[in-house]
Every structure is written in C-alpha cells, then in structure tokens.
Structure 1
C-alpha cells in the first residue's frame, strides 16, 4: 500500500477500510495518494473511476517540489495573487479532484511557510461595500461620512480607527501573496501554465 506522506493529508483515513484500500490501490504508482475528503463516497467514486466517469489525479500533480509543496499549492497561491481571495471564498472541486490537496490545509501551509499572509481588518476594508463601511463608522460616532464614496470611507476609517477597534466589527479578511510567494510562482510556472484560465 502506498502510504508515502500519508500523515500530511490523509491521516484521517482508516487503512483497514476496504473502500480506502481500493482507493489506495488506484494510486499505487503515484508519488503519494491525493487528499481524500472524509465526505467523499469512496465506494461510489471508485465505481465511477472504473467506468470512466471520474478520473484519477494526474501523477504529475502529486510530486512535491523541494519546498514541500504540491502543484495544487501553487494554483492556490496563483488564485490568491488576484487579490480577490478572502476568508469567505469557496474552494473549487478541482483542488481535491484534479490537484489532490486539502485546500483549506494548503492555505494554512502557504501562510506558515511565508508564501501568503492573512490581511488585517484595516487592510481588508476593500472587501466591504459602502453601506457596510458607513454602518461601522456610525457605530463609532464619526461625522462627515454620509456623502463619501467607498474610497473616502476607507480613508476615514483608517485615519480615525485603530486595528483593535475595528477588527471585531466584521469578520471577512483578505489574503495576499508575499514576495517569497511570487518567487515560488516564478520558479515553478508549469502548473499555472497548464491550468485552465478564467478571469477572477
């Protein structure tokens, strides 16, 4: 059984389960078994693979780079680089089924490795709309905001409020790629070059 790096993404799996064994058998010749979500119906998925309705994660997507990241990590990093990725952004199915990663875990790994960072509340103000910004400013009793546009509202919030003041008033946070993350994408362009593109 291929248990290489099983502790990195699949430690939750019961290796004595017949369905799990069948999945691992399919990936016997991969560098490691892709992430298998606890919610996946393994019996049904294996049957779909056998009839050609589902595909295996390509072998190339399960080969780690020297930084101990997979191609899927780079796709997530590329996605963050658009500047629209936040704590409420969903993860497309392809992260698990095409790239074999647990995207939520991969995001934390990218942050831990210094390739991405979670923005502060003040730096996440662009993800709020004007009405939300006005509601926050009103709570602090600030004046002169009623006719301001979104840009003006953000400037007022940043000039009058501290991070610890505004942070409890909204939960959404953005993410940002770091210079080290940009270098990593430049070092390994192939995964992004192969990835189907759409505008984010």
Structure 2
C-alpha cells in the first residue's frame, strides 16, 4: 500500500495555530488588544463538540469592558484632580500682597496701619459698639457705631489706642456688642488679613495662605478678597 507523505492537500487541512504575544506593560494591565488575543487563543483550543456558550463569551467581554472603563475613569479623574490642584495653586499665588477676609475676630497688627473688618447680624441692631482688645484682654479702643441693618456692615479701625497713639504691634481682636430685639447681644466679626506667601502643599496636601503676623489659613476658608 502506498504511503501518503505529509504535505499537499493534507497539510492544508491541519489546524493552523497562530501565536500571540501579550504586549509588555509596565503596569501589568491588559489592553483590549491583549484581551481579544487571549479570547482568540481560548477559542482555538475549545472542544468543537462543546463550544463556549454565547452567554459566557458575552459575560467575559462585558467584564473586561467594565474593568477597562473603570480604569479609564480613574485616569480621567486623576488628570482632573491634577488640573484642579494646578488651578487652585495659580489662584492662591495671585492672592500674595492682597487682603482676604476670614470668619475670625482675631488679627495681627504689624505696624502703623488701618485694620478693616465686617460685623455680622441676622437682625437689625442698635447701640452697636466695637471694642478693640489686645492679647491680654485689655480694651485699647472703643468705637461707637450706632444702628446697623441686618446683614454685613464694614468698619475700619485706624490702629490707634484711646490715647491717640499708635497701638503696638501684636495680637488683637474685635468684640462687638449691640441691642437686638431689645436684648444686649454680642455680634460676629470678620477681619481682613494680608497674604504674605503661599504654601502649595500644606497639612493634608491643602493649599495654605501665610498671613502677616505668622499665622496661616486654608485657601478654602477665604470669604472675600480685597485689593489692599
């Protein structure tokens, strides 16, 4: 009997196995190209009498698409967060040399200067008086205001004591009292602080404004910005 040698028509009937190489990734993540290469490899080895169910194949593709989508979303969010941080840093740097308002009645007097602030009341108030106190709690100046409407009212202290002399540098605070609805009430005060410099990576990675007098505050705590 004649022996049939390999080649010719019989060779064309053999399974042609294709080789696939998963692209090297520094992060070890599979791309869509890698996934479909592995899927094709899996199909080439399956039992022809028991092919992979459509549902199973769709499930694998859906799982990969979901994972790939989450990865892309994470990358987009990282880029967005980086962009936001850069924008905040630029915004903060533009505040150097300007004054910002904070919800605090304490402030630092550096030299012979005026100090600006705002008093806040939810209802109209009468007989309003602003007291300026030093770090020891001693009253150095009293400024009568009179009646104010509900909301915010701006005021300025000239930096001088009751004697008329300039107050020494140091820590001070505004204490504001008035009559609201027939009762003696202490009103809230906000003050302006001048920004000397900016720390771009402070505690917790937040952007800090370094104020005159050595104190600092988070950029997110700024209520208002003034030119001077």
Fold match by TM threshold 0.5 = no
Please report the TM-score for the alignment, with normalisation by the length of structure 2: 0.25
TM-score normalized by the length of structure 1: 0.28
Normalized per residue, which structure has more helix?
1
Instruction: Tell me which structure has the larger Cα radius of gyration.
Output: 2
